A and B are shown apart, each in its own frame.
Chain A
Amino acid sequence: MESRSNYWLVAPSALVFVALFIAPMAFFVVLSFWQVEYFELSTEPTLANYRDVFVNYWRVMGFTVAVATATALLTTFLGFVFSFLARFRAGQWAQALLFIVLITLFGGYLMKIYAWKTILGNEGVLNSALMAMGIISSPITSLLYSPQAVVLTLMHFSLPFAVLPIYASMRGISDAEVEAARDLGAGRWPILSTVIVPRCQSGIVAGFSFVFLMVGGDYVTPLLVGGKITMIGNLIAPQFGAQFNWPLGAAMSLVMLLAAVAIIYLFRFLVALGSRP
Chain B
Amino acid sequence: MTALLKLRGISKRYGDAVAVQPLDLDIFAHDFVAILGPSGCGKTTLLRMIGGFVAPTSGTVEIDGRDVTRIGPEQRPTNTVFQGYGLFPHMTVRQNVGYGLRLQKKPKAEIADRVAEALRQSRLTEFADRSVTALSGGQQQRVALARALILRPKVLLLDEPLAALDLKLRHAMQDELRRLHQEFGGTFVFVTHDQGEALSLANRIAVMNAGRIEQEGDAETIYTAPATRFVATFIGEANLLPGERKAGQVKLEAGPSFADAGADEPVTTVVRPKAVRLLRAEEKADIEISGSLTEVVYLGDHIKCVVAVSDKQDVVVHLDVAVAPRPVVGEHVRLGWSIQQQRVVSA
Contact = CB atoms under 8 A, between A and B. Distances in A.
B80 to A, nearest CB: 5
Contact of A182 (B74, B89, B148): B74
Given A190-B103, A277-B95, A183 B80 contact: yes
B103 A186 contact: yes
Contact of B87 (A178, A180, A190): A180
A185 B104 contact: yes
A180 B89 CA distance: 12
B330 interface: no
Contact of A176 (B72, B73, B75, B84): B84
Interface in B156-174: none
Contact of B86 (A177, A187, A198, A277): A177
Nearest to A173: B89
B325 to A, nearest CB: 58
A52 B100 CA distance: 57
B51 interface: yes
Q: Contact size class for A?
A: 20 to 34
Nearest to B90: A198
Given A176-B82, A179-B53, A184 B99 contact: yes
B95 A184 contact: no
A174 interface: yes
B241 interface: no
B91 interface: yes
B21 interface: no
Contacts of B100: 184-185
Interface string A148-192: 000000000000000000000000001011111111111100100
A174 B84 CA distance: 9
Given A190-B103, A194-B99, A199-B90, A183 B84 contact: no
Given A185-B74, A187-B74, A179 B86 contact: yes
Contacts of A195: 88
B204 interface: no
Interface string A124-145: 0000000000000000000000
Contacts of B318: none
Nearest to A199: B90
A167 to B, nearest CB: 18
B313 interface: no
Contacts of A194: 99, 103
Contacts of A187: 74
A180 B151 contact: no
B229 interface: no
B interface, over-half SS: mixed
Contact of A183 (B74, B83, B89): B74
Contacts of A178: 86
B79 interface: yes
B75 to A, nearest CB: 8
Contact of A180 (B88, B102, B104): B88
A182 B72 contact: yes
Contacts of A176: 82-86
A231 to B, nearest CB: 37
A97 to B, nearest CB: 23
A277 B104 contact: no
B257 to A, nearest CB: 55
Considering residues A176, A185, A275, which has the most beta carbons from chain B within 10 angstroms of its beta carbon? A185
Contacts of A198: 90
B91 A277 contact: yes
Contacts of B80: 179-180, 183
Of B74, B82, B100, which is in contact with the most chain A CB atoms at under 10 Å from its CB? B74
Contacts of B304: none
A178 B86 CA distance: 8
Contacts of A186: 74, 103
Interface in B62-108: 72-75, 78-80, 82-91, 95, 99-100, 102-104
B193 interface: no
A190 B105 CA distance: 12
Interface in B177-202: none
Contacts of B103: 184-186, 190, 194
25 contacts: A176-B83, A176-B85, A177-B87, A179-B80, A179-B86, A180-B87, A180-B88, A181-B88, A183-B73, A183-B148, A184-B74, A184-B99, A185-B75, A185-B103, A185-B104, A185-B151, A186-B103, A198-B90, A199-B89, A199-B90, A275-B90, A277-B88, A277-B90, A277-B91, A277-B95
Given A180-B147, A186-B103, 5 more contacts: A176-B85, A177-B89, A179-B53, A180-B88, A184-B147
